[in-house]
Structure 1
Amino acid sequence: MSEKPYYVTTPIYYVTAAPHIGSAYTTVAGDVLTRWHAQRGERKWYLTGTDEHGEKVLRSAQAQGMSPQEWTDKLVEEAWKPAWVDVDIAYDDFIRTTEPRHTERVQEFVQALYDQGDVYKGEYEGLYCVGCEEFKLPADIRTDEDGTQRCMIHGTELETVSETNYFFRLSAYADRLLALYESQPDFVAPASARNEVVSFVKQGLQDLSITRSTFDWGIPVPWDKDHVLYVWVDALLNYATAAGYGKDPERFAELWPADVHLVGKDILRFHAVIWPAMLIAAGIPVPKQVFAHGWLLVGGEKMSKSKLTAIAPKEITDHFGSDAFRYYFLRTIQFGSDGSFSWEHLNAVYTSELANGLGNLASRIAAMVGKYFDGVLPEPTDHGPAEQALADKLAETVTTADQAIDTLAFHDALAAINDLVGAVNGYVSEQEPWKVAKDEAQRERLATILYTSAEVLRAVAVLHHPTMPKTAAKLWTLLGAEAKLGPLADQHVQDAGTWGQLPAGSTLTKGDALFPRLTEEA
């Protein structure tokens, strides 16, 4: 069997409303990560999907006068899947937690835990946040001056819930979780997230209520039909059920364990505490890493559907395009930290780095090759110190970007590529090929300047292909590279820094601007 596919997952998103740019941010990050591994020539598998059970979804459906299944069907087909088209997501699988391939396996999983004594019946009363679908600990509660107790994340008033439920013996796995964090230091990342999780577990774990009996929108508990499974137990298992757990052992053996679970920091404990404990209890290998990114802030606050501060991805892509959306959020925010969004900043980055930077460079080079060499890339014969400096810069950029992706430092990878584009623009300004062209005796020098610039653009197309697939494809076409080097998808990113790959004789065509100048305000 060939090497294991690089398996990346997003959270499965609650289908209470249409997606916003916070959800798209996570999904784009996973898409770029898996595309980058594919650009290395590796196999990859990218999973996303929707979380369709639980009280929050039930209430959302009731507010629309629809059944939960009707409501989730409508949102998935009319909002979620189209949104991923808008931001150019190339997922390999989209799982819905209402699908039999998931629900049947979840029932088998919890039945096994029950049979081995890891699940028991008990009483529970606590303060519950419907938005989080979680009983809140004292440290996660904000108390107003009037005594109202609220969720620290959503700001909504907590509800007192008292139920007879079934519990998972989470407390029994604290020591094994701590041993996991010690033996696999990168299991939770970044370091700030790891420290938070370790501190939380060291304080002691309470057993987890894993069923609900006050509503029926969920997967029925197989041994007690009066209960449905807690949505988070149901949801977390999607990563395994989508990979074939309990259904296709050969496929599961090929894909599992997952290489990276991407999550928002507000759901870190579910993924870094409850999820591995469940897997350990079931004797299933834990994933290699859970990586928690920060929040997208608008006006200094986390985006919220309930507060109507959410921005739909299409609002951005309709104006700036999907590639600019993908580039902006990963270029300007350190993955793992909070980041602020503003239309003004997006417009500034689009104009300076994409339109005036990469786009203008590509247009200038294609135009000069067209004007001075009838569109045919000339042979370089005057490779000197200035050209060697760019060749060295290119090799360094490829190494820097490739290593940055391994640590999910997307901003560092894109910063390095942007610096490379800036270096080529600087080179062109210093060499002044439009002046060199006036002296026939410097024909060879002119050829070298234009070849050097085009050769770096060849590598930029490869480096940007995972992040900006549409733009990279246009650039590849502009350079005439397909006819000489083959499909862009077949170019290995780790080899992109090898100098001299774009053959002389390639036909360059200017075509439309890679990034049209925007005349209207976003």
Structure 2
Amino acid sequence: MPEAARRVLSRLKEIWRVAQKFYITTAISYPNGAPHIGHAYEAIASDAIARFERLDGKDVLFLTGTDEHGLKMVQTAAQEGVTPRALADRNSARFREMAATLDISYDDFIRTTEPRHYEACAELWRRMAAAGDIFKKKYGGWYSVRDEVFYREAETDIREDGKRYSTTTGTPVEWTEEETFFFRLSAYQQKLLDHYEANPEFVLPPERRNEVVSFVKMGLEDLSISRSTLDWGIPVPGTPEHVMYVWIDALNNYITATGLLNGGGSRAHHWPADVHVIGKDIVRFHAIYWPAFLMSAGLPLPHRVFSHGFVLVKGEKMSKSVGNVIDPFALASHYGVDQTRHFFLREVVFGHDGNYAPDMIATRINADLANGLGNLAQRSLSMITRGFGGLVPQPGTFTDADTALLAKADALYGLCRTAMDRQAIKTWLDAVWDVIGEGDRYFASEKPFDKALSLERKGTILYVAAEVVRQLAILVQPAMPASASKLLDLLAQPASARSFAALGNAGRLAPGTQLPEPQGVFPRYVDPSVEAGKAAPTAEQQKQQKLEKQQKKNASREKGQVEGRDKNSGDKAGRGQT
């Protein structure tokens, strides 16, 4: 092959490789405490997106991790009598454990205390300095330790206790003065506004975008980006008595994981990120500061910043003082991992606040899983086992009802793909459950259990139902990976037939395939306290139950005697008329 042709081919391969990549990140969690359900929700949602893209053939890089520097870590460590490093080591391990418990399929778990991250942050700083965007001056401002951010005076107010608080987050602020390095954020106001205009879906959902645009239009002040009163952080290149402000440090983790600022490597082509998944309380940092830093450093901007809402407990924010903080480990243990994942993904509109209550998750488990997908699968596969020896039936001629249901199942991928292009997770799952509902109605109307039907017609109905279950199982894998895998096992589907490429005609069930003995995948949820009450009635309850049982027996005996007399009377009357 001529050299010119070889170069063209190599370039085309690189273009294809970049086109097929998908890079998704969570916000890295602050490990000054244990994980709560808010952390779990973000991880579950991001994992579902990552799994969806993998099943669609993308080269996915999914990043999560922990943000381990900053004043909060120093203060918490001091309160617990340990070093910041020891605190970070202990709690970072808990976040890894949470990810493992919830079946989070991350490709990299980054810690901001790693050497690779120190190197990448130093390189980012040098590039911003080379652009003339970093300078030093004395600074005083209202600083929130909890938020790790300086607030303008107009963004604070004094409350009844005489203390000043952020009006945005409600956290206490204190006046802080020190000499720090600044980033020339004011120089990027118009560039940011131009970017938002040219890329209207850079920030989603739209209400978060509107907030960002409004904030930038009010005017941007230069940003303090170092601390000289703290030594737990990444040293500023050439000025080691300063450490980088935690948000420069934390935000750059997304690039560190690609190796782009560490000499490249096999992941460098994943930058820019396709989507940063974050909480709505840190939109400003990701949609204003981060793109400005990247513009300064001459680096591509992420394609999207998606901001999810908060998880509320019975309509209230989680709070230790209220005592309503939800432990994700306990939740998964009690309800099941896939059941917990499904609840948050289908119950909550991604991008908005969502609500959690025990009765809500129980209802979802029983309605969606046990009575919905699980029931459709169990009925179909059990009847194939009983009526066809566990062999996938050979379908006869399809009726309009058969064709209509198959068409709806075949069209599902397109609906789901469109939804997930905008991270509309609930829309994807709602589309799937619409077809589950259609499957239930099909089963009820076509009556494969009707003894009057021919064997061929029964086989056709069950083939259609099983084929629909196959496609449903493939499409719910990102939400419920373990349960979907069990369903596909029951349909004897090999690993090579479980991606989205197998949807529709491409992967139809092969008649004659031997299926394993069907098993229930989604058991009903029964409140353990109710079960315990049933299993151990009180002495008074036992006495009452015994009395009611005897009364029913007596009533039944009396009814039988009456019916017997009536029958004899009727027989005599009938004979008398002949």
Q: Normalising to structure 2: TM-score of the pair?
A: 0.85
State the superposition RMSD in angstroms. 1.8
Instruction: Name stretches of at least 5 consecutive residues in structure 2 with no aligned partner.
Output: 1-13, 530-578
CA distance in 1 between partners of 2:370 and 2:478 (Å): 19
- Aligned pairs for 1:307-386 (under 5 A) are 309-386=324-401
**Match in the other structure for 1:3:** 17
CA positional deviation for 1:276: 0.5
Decide which of 501, 505, 523 is 1:516's aligned counterpart: 523
The amino acid across from 1:15 in the alignment is P
Decide which of 422, 427, 443 is 2:437's aligned counterpart: 422
SS of equivalent residue, structure 1 residue 480: coil
- Aligned pairs for 1:473-488 (under 5 A) are 473-482=485-494, 486-488=495-497
Distance 1:377 1:129, change over 3 A: same
Decide which of 267, 271, 292 is 2:307's aligned counterpart: 292
SS of equivalent residue, structure 1 residue 498: helix
The amino acid across from 1:492 in the alignment is F
CA positional deviation for 1:508: 2.5
**Match in the other structure for 2:214:** 199
Distance 1:488 1:473, change over 3 A: farther
Matched residues, number: 513
Is the radius of gyration larger for structure 1 or structure 2? 2
SS of equivalent residue, structure 2 residue 302: coil
The amino acid across from 2:516 in the alignment is T
- Aligned pairs for 1:43-62 (under 5 A) are 43-62=59-78
On the 8 A contact 2:258/2:264 being kept in 1, the answer is no
Q: Which shifted more, 345-354 or 106-115? A: 106-115
CA positional deviation for 1:468: 0.9
Q: Does residue 396 of the first structure (1) align with residue 411 of the second (2)?
A: yes
Decide which of 195, 198, 206 is 1:180's aligned counterpart: 195
Distance 1:468 1:333, change over 3 A: same
SS of equivalent residue, structure 2 residue 419: helix
On the 8 A contact 1:481/1:506 being kept in 2, the answer is no
**Match in the other structure for 2:251:** 236
SS of equivalent residue, structure 1 residue 301: coil
SS of equivalent residue, structure 2 residue 272: coil
CA positional deviation for 1:215: 2.0
SS of equivalent residue, structure 1 residue 481: coil
SS of equivalent residue, structure 1 residue 398: helix
Q: Does residue 66 of the first structure (1) align with residue 74 of the second (2)?
A: no
CA positional deviation for 1:189: 1.4
Instruction: Show CA shifts across 1:293-333 (max 9, x none).
Output: 11111233333467654312112111222111221111111
The amino acid across from 1:517 in the alignment is R
On the 8 A contact 1:476/1:488 being kept in 2, the answer is no
Instruction: Show CA shifts across 1:318-360 (max 9, x none).
Output: 1222111221111111111111111110110111001111112
Q: Does residue 20 of the first structure (1) align with residue 28 of the second (2)?
A: no
Instruction: Show CA shifts across 1:494-521 (max 9, x none).
Output: x513387011112233443211222234
**Match in the other structure for 1:445:** 457
Distance 1:208 1:521, change over 3 A: farther
Distance 1:166 1:308, change over 3 A: farther
CA distance in 2 between partners of 1:149 and 1:126 (Å): 12
On the 8 A contact 1:264/1:293 being kept in 2, the answer is yes
The amino acid across from 2:460 in the alignment is T
Instruction: Show CA shifts across 1:28-63 (max 9, x none).
Output: 111111111111112111011110000011112122
CA distance in 2 between partners of 1:113 and 1:500 (Å): 52
CA positional deviation for 1:459: 0.3
**Match in the other structure for 1:121:** 136
**Match in the other structure for 1:492:** 500
Q: Which shifted more, 112-121 or 367-376? A: 112-121
**Match in the other structure for 2:176:** 161
**Match in the other structure for 1:506:** 513
On the 8 A contact 1:52/1:97 being kept in 2, the answer is yes
**Match in the other structure for 1:464:** 476
Instruction: Show CA shifts across 1:253-286 (max 9, x none).
Output: 4111111111111000100000000000011111
Instruction: Show CA shifts across 1:469-516 (max 9, x none).
Output: 11111000111222xxx5354x225x5133870111122334432112
| 4+ long deviations beyond 6 Å | none
CA distance in 1 between partners of 2:168 and 2:89 (Å): 28
On the 8 A contact 2:409/2:504 being kept in 1, the answer is yes
The amino acid across from 1:205 in the alignment is L
CA distance in 1 between partners of 2:350 and 2:195 (Å): 24
**Match in the other structure for 1:249:** 264
**Match in the other structure for 2:557:** none
SS of equivalent residue, structure 1 residue 380: coil
Distance 1:255 1:23, change over 3 A: same
CA positional deviation for 1:156: 3.2
Instruction: Show CA shifts across 1:167-205 (max 9, x none).
Output: 111111111111111122221112111111111111110
CA positional deviation for 1:154: 4.8
Distance 1:153 1:347, change over 3 A: farther
Instruction: Name stretches of at least 5 consecutive residues in structure 1 with no aligned partner.
Output: none
Distance 1:119 1:307, change over 3 A: farther
CA distance in 1 between partners of 2:195 and 2:362 (Å): 44
CA positional deviation for 1:165: 1.1
Identity of aligned residues (%): 43
